[in-house]
Amino acid sequence: MPKNSKQVCPDCLPVIRYNHNDLWVKFWIEPFFLNYFKFIRLIIPFRRQVLNLVLEILRLVKIVRFENKIEKFNLDNRSLIFWNEAQILNLRIALITFLGQSTELFQVQINDQIFLFEQVPLVSSFPKINFDSKLIFKNFLNKNKISTPPHEIFWFWQSQKALKYAETLGFPLVVKPVNGSLSQHVSIVKNLAELPKAIKIAQKYEPLFMVEKFAKGSLIRVNVIAQKHVFVCQRIATNVVGNGQNSILELIKIKNTERNLANFQTNFQNNYQKSNLSKLTEITKKPENLQSKNCQKISKNNLEPENKESLTKISKIILKPTLRQIKIDEELTNFLATQNLNLESILKNGDDTCLNSKITLSRGCDILELTDKAHPEIKAYFLKISQLLSANLVGFDLLCDDVSLPILEQNFAILEANSCPYLNMHEHPSSGFAQKVAQTVWQEILKNPKLLENY
C-alpha cells in the first residue's frame, strides 16, 4: 500500500506511523518477553560473555560489523554525546551494525572487559520495575504515597465508565495511552463535549488508556544518574515572542537562524581547542553560512587550522542540533488558527505565543537548564525515588510552580518516568549553564563497570 501524508497518523507525530497494529501486538506479548528474558538472565550467569561470543561469530561471517567511524550512520544526539566523550577518554568503543544498518547497539571495553549498551549507557534491559509503563509507575507512586495527579485507567471497552469518571474528576483533564512517549495520542480536554473524541484517540494507540486530572505548572524533566547525580531542566512549548514589528513567520525565521548559529558555535567549540576565535567570528557574520544545510560543510572546509598552535582539532563527531528548527507546516498553522492567528499576524511587543500543543524537541521546544537552581529538597526527593526503583538511569516528568522552591510550598505532581531519557538536553540547552552529563555517566561507569551489567 503506498505511503502518503494522508495516511500518516496525526496523533502520533512527530513519530511517523501509518497504523497501530504493532503497538497492540506489543501490548499483549511484551509482558511475556520481559518475564522470559528475566528468566534467561537468572539461568545464564555469563550472558554478557555469551552475547559477545555470538556477536564475534556473526562478525566473522560478515553479518555484523564493529564500526569505529560512525559519521555515515544517522545516530541521535542522545547517543552521540556518549560517543564523543568516550573519544576524549580514549575508550575503545564501536557501533554494532547488522547487514550494514545501525543497530544503536554499542560495544565498549572497560578494564579488559567487554560490555554492551543500547543508545545510552546505564539503560537497563532488566528493570526491577517497568516504570516506562504508566500503569505500573502510577501504582508505584500510589503505593509509596508520592504526589501524582488523580487518575484512573480503563480498558478500550470501558468508554462509558471513563466518561462517568471524568465528570466526577472535573475539567480540564488529560486523556492518554498507558504506554508511549513524545505526547503521542495525548489530549487535553477542557469540557465534556471534547471527551469522547479524546478517548477514541487514546484507544487507537493501545488497549489501555488513562484519564487524569490536569495539573498546573511548568513541565520539568529530572534525570537521575547512578542514584547519585540529579540534572534538571524545563521544557517550554515552541513559541515566539512578539516585538510589534515582525510577523510570526519572520519571528520563526529569526529564531531558527539563531539556533543555527548556536549549534554551529557548539560544534566548533566541541571540535577545536582554541586560543583565537576570530575566524569563527568572521564566518558567522555571513548570514548564508548559518543555514543548517551549510553548517557541517563550513566546519569541515573553513575551520581547518592554518596555525596548529592556535587551533587544534580533536576527534569528535559533528552533533545534530539538539534544539531543532521550528517547522512551518500545516500542524503549526492549524494551531495558530485556534488562537485566531496566522503566519502574517504581528504580535504586540512582549507577547509570547505558543506554536504547538506538544512540548517536544522535534517540534522546536526550548530547553531551560535548571540543575544549579533546583532546590536541594527536590534533588534529594528524586534521588530517593530512583533508589526505590533500583534504577541507575531514570528521567522523571513533573509539573511544579518553581523548582527553586521546596516541594510543600507549591503545586507539585509527578506525571511519568522514562528509562532512556534525552540527556543531551542538559548539554545543549536554549539557556542556562550546560551540564557535563555524558562525562558524569562515564566517570561513574569507570569507577564501577558493573553498572553496565544490566544489558
pLDDT in tens, 265-288: 665 555 544 334 444 444 444 444
Domains of the chain: 46-118 (no CATH), 129-134+141-147+216-237+357-436 (3.30.470.20), 245-351 (no CATH)
Q: Count Cα atoms within 13 angstroms, Cβ side, for 381.
A: 22
Q: Is residue 213 pLDDT above 80, yes or no?
A: yes
3: left (phi over 0), alpha (psi -120 to 50) or beta: beta
Predicted local confidence at residue 13, as pLDDT: 80
Local structure of 234: helix, strand or coil: strand
Q: How far apart are the first and last CA of the chain?
A: 37
pLDDT in tens, 17-36: 888 888 898 888 877 766 65
d(CA 231, CA 435): 8
Q: Is residue 41 pLDDT above 80, yes or no?
A: no
Contact 218, 234 (CB under 8 A): yes
Predicted local confidence at residue 297, as pLDDT: 39
Report DSSP state, residue 131.
Answer: T
Report the pLDDT averaged over residues 204-209: 92
pLDDT, greater one: 453 or 218: 218
Percent of the chain with pLDDT over 90: 49
Q: Which range (50-64, 82-96, 426-440) has the least confidence?
A: 50-64
The grid cell for 253 is 525565521
Q: Which range (194-198, 257-261, 313-317, 436-440) has the least confidence?
A: 313-317
The pTM (predicted TM-score) of the whole model is 0.82
pLDDT in tens, 46-72: 667 777 888 888 889 889 899 988 887
Predicted local confidence at residue 311, as pLDDT: 35
Q: Is residue 76 pLDDT above 90, yes or no?
A: no
Predicted local confidence at residue 286, as pLDDT: 45
pLDDT-derived band of residue 430, with 50, 70 and 90 as boundaries?
Answer: confident
pLDDT-derived band of residue 215, with 50, 70 and 90 as boundaries?
Answer: confident
Q: Is residue 184 pLDDT above 70, yes or no?
A: yes
Report the pLDDT averaged over residues 100-117: 88
User: Please, what is the average pLDDT of the chain?
Assistant: 83
Contact 236, 365 (CB under 8 A): yes
pLDDT in tens, 156-180: 999 999 999 999 998 999 999 988 8
Predicted local confidence at residue 93, as pLDDT: 93
d(CA 124, CA 291): 39
Q: Is residue 218 pLDDT above 60, yes or no?
A: yes
Predicted local confidence at residue 321, as pLDDT: 67
The grid cell for 315 is 576527534
Local structure of 44: helix, strand or coil: coil
Share in percent of the chain as helix, strand, coil (round to 5): 40, 20, 40
